[in-house]
Structure 1
Amino acid sequence: MPAAVDPRLLRAFVAVAEELHFTRAAARLYVAQQALSRDVRRLERELGAELFLRTTRQVTLTADGVRLLPHARRVLAAQDELLAAFASSAQARPLLVDLNSPGLVTGRRVLHRARELAPDCELMARYESGLTGAAEQVLSGRLDASFGRFAGLDPALRSGLAQQPVRYEPMAVVLPEDHRLAGLPEVPVAALAGETVYAGAGNPRTLEWTDLALRLFEEYGVRLAPALPLAVGDEEFERMMAKTRHPVLAVVDFPALPRTVRRPLVDPVPLSPVSLVWRKGLVHPALDGLRRAAGEVAEAEGWLRRPAGSWIPAADDRTMTAGRGGAPRRP
């Protein structure tokens, strides 16, 4: 017998015991079904007892499962009381949510919906420009959540973080208005061959974005612009882009820059995988609202449906689909 039982495993057991359906229980806990099944199997191993009878048609409790259920409920009730005793201090502290950059749509839409779902909590926006930089802040407790490409983080950062897929965001290129490709309604990726495209090289806070650009362009003969002095603020970024005249790799909702045009990339349609990312073990009354908002907005907007002919690195495909509890999709 184990010296102690992880309350997370008990919570997984109770959810399945009450729903008698793994898919519904996973949705109730905001976890992938595979992860829920792993937790239940781990609890069964630790207790040395089979808790459920599973068939293709139904899930039922065994005698040991029936015996465990009231004990598990009491343990979880005690844990909830303990957390509630400290909830007032958490309630007083705002949830700090990094949106990467002003003007980007994905994180802002989720945050606005979360404020509606958790009106008694304060959710405050922050802007750290990239997930790599924000992840370090999240792990240290200076931020609570961020958005971005989770698979692009160093494994040492990922190990302390949890993620929920939010969007496959189509990518675009921002061009000077007199650029040779500016007249096209869409820009084929191959048409950028020979160009030098800015994708944040040298910015230590956006390493995941630069890596995504390298993976996209490596077979098309597109060079990445060398590191530039770190531009802080929209005005400085616009000045540097006007000075270098490099096309800028962006997403379709990237805010407009003066004297530029934004064109979606096609053939293939490259996707920027966006997840909501937070610190493992974070307890805050607004976090549930933020996660619910991410799921609601993604569902309403179809953000997690991949368009035909799209491109995404294999590692990102695995990370995003695992976060949703499915097998990797092929468009």
Structure 2
Amino acid sequence: MPAQQPLSAHLDPRLLRAFLAVAEELHFTRAAARLYVAQQALSRDIRRLERALGAELFVRTTRQVALTTDGERLLPYARRVLEAQDALLAVFARTREAQPRALLVDVNSPGLMSSRVLERARELAPDCELMARFESGLTGAAVELLAGRLDASFGRFAGLDPVVRARLEQQPVRYEPMAVVLPQDHHLAALDAVPLDALAGERVYAGAGNPGTLEWTDLARRLFEGRGIELAPPAPVAIGAEEFRRIMAKNRNPVLAVVDFPAMPESVLRPLVDPVPLSPVSLVWRKGLVHPGIDALRRAAVELAVEEGWLRRPEGGWVPAMDEKIMMRHS
């Protein structure tokens, strides 16, 4: 047990956040990933907190981490302190946003549905500066959201880690029909729409190996399961139409996409059918963020969803049960 020392009059909330992450994960590696810090730094912060409190908070073995009695005693206090700090910061954030800064909005890629929401929001709030950013995946964007380097994004909320979801807000926007991008001379390219069963035996690229698009790869894995469709192995992320053309010509793997995916050279986009797979898209932002730009994005998403029927599922449309539950709960 750490040597008994006088309790410090000042306790860094960062140490309590480190404690809370480990207490909830009961795993130092996962807790470090959650906080986006090195595991050594996290262990150091836990030792500092234990010294400051004069108590051992965790029992560590090579196989598991468990809370001690003192750790259990600290847990509810740590939660209350951090909730109070978050509430305080949110209040002063509202004051700062009286003259709002530019809102940074990730639309994934130009030309997608999210760009339409952004354009409508700009019309609804002409005095707000809404700046587009391009993160290419919600998993990657979530890191930037929680770090305060990004304010809003779009994507599959259910595909995020539950711990990350707990620190974000979301509003369902669309069940977006999925499609496949094919080399123009592929044997399925002549079809107006590609039945899912026709992809059996194919290796379809869905972002495998890209840490920023884990939610998309997970959606593909759920869709392909039991259908004889294989996830294509990791490939370099193609930035720009010419790089996409080059990688497609080299690997020739169909690419899982959505119906709004922009046209690419020497490729064709075909909707998937029988059933129609749906990508559940939400507007996502950081908890506690108050900004007129967020209000405009939310209103824009609702207006477009009503006008375009974005939240009406086609008969027989496929969506994972976990996504449906989240989308329905927040609709």
TM-score, normalised to structure 1's length? 0.71
Aligned residues: 242
How far residue 223 of structure 1 moved from its aligned partner, in angstroms, is 0.6
How far residue 177 of structure 1 moved from its aligned partner, in angstroms, is 1.1
CA contact (8 A) 2:179 2:258 kept: yes
Q: Does 1:269 align with 2:276?
A: yes
CA contact (8 A) 2:180 2:258 kept: yes
How far residue 82 of structure 1 moved from its aligned partner, in angstroms, is 7.2
Q: Percent identity?
A: 70
How far residue 229 of structure 1 moved from its aligned partner, in angstroms, is 2.2
1:98 aligns with one of 77, 87, 106: 106
Aligned AA for 1:237? F
User: Which residues of structure 2 form unaligned runs of 5+?
Assistant: 1-89
- SS for the counterpart of 1:275 is strand
Q: Deviations over 1:264-321 (max 9, x none)?
A: 1001000000000000000112111111111111111000000011100000000100
Instruction: Give the direction of change, closer, same or farther, for the CA distance of 1:206–1:81 in structure 2 (3 Å limit).
Output: closer
- SS for the counterpart of 2:211 is coil
Q: Does 1:184 align with 2:191?
A: yes
Q: Deviations over 1:1-58 (max 9, x none)?
A: xxxxxxxxxxxxxxxxxxxxxxxxxxxxxxxxxxxxxxxxxxxxxxxxxxxxxxxxxx
Instruction: Give the direction of change, closer, same or farther, for the CA distance of 1:85–1:248 in structure 2 (3 Å limit).
Output: closer
**What residue number does 2:160 align with?**
153
CA contact (8 A) 2:241 2:265 kept: no
Q: Distance in 1 between matches of 2:207 and 2:245?
A: 13
**What residue number does 2:63 align with?**
none
Q: Distance in 1 between matches of 2:111 and 2:91?
A: 40
How far residue 127 of structure 1 moved from its aligned partner, in angstroms, is 0.2
Q: Does 1:87 align with 2:94?
A: no
Instruction: Give the direction of change, closer, same or farther, for the CA distance of 1:247–1:81 in structure 2 (3 Å limit).
Output: closer
Q: Does 1:206 align with 2:216?
A: no
Q: Distance in 2 between matches of 1:212 and 1:85?
A: 40
TM-score, normalised to structure 2's length? 0.71
- SS for the counterpart of 1:310 is coil
How far residue 234 of structure 1 moved from its aligned partner, in angstroms, is 3.5
Q: Deviations over 1:151-177 (max 9, x none)?
A: 001112111000000000000011111
How far residue 232 of structure 1 moved from its aligned partner, in angstroms, is 3.2
> Which runs of structure 2 are paired with 1:278-289 in the superposition (5 Å)?
278-289=285-296
Aligned AA for 2:127? D
How far residue 228 of structure 1 moved from its aligned partner, in angstroms, is 1.0
Q: Distance in 2 between matches of 1:296 and 1:163?
A: 16
Q: Distance in 2 between matches of 1:84 and 1:179?
A: 54
> Which runs of structure 2 are paired with 1:1-331 in the superposition (5 Å)?
85-89=95-99, 91=100, 93-104=101-112, 106-324=113-331
User: Which residues of structure 1 form unaligned runs of 5+?
Assistant: 1-79, 325-331
- SS for the counterpart of 2:111 is coil
Q: Distance in 1 between matches of 2:239 and 2:145?
A: 21
- SS for the counterpart of 1:292 is helix
CA contact (8 A) 2:196 2:274 kept: yes
How far residue 249 of structure 1 moved from its aligned partner, in angstroms, is 0.5
**What residue number does 1:21 align with?**
none
How far residue 240 of structure 1 moved from its aligned partner, in angstroms, is 1.1
Instruction: Give the direction of change, closer, same or farther, for the CA distance of 1:83–1:213 in structure 2 (3 Å limit).
Output: closer
Q: Deviations over 1:68-100 (max 9, x none)?
A: xxxxxxxxxxxx9977743344x2x11000001
Q: Distance in 2 between matches of 1:283 and 1:214?
A: 36
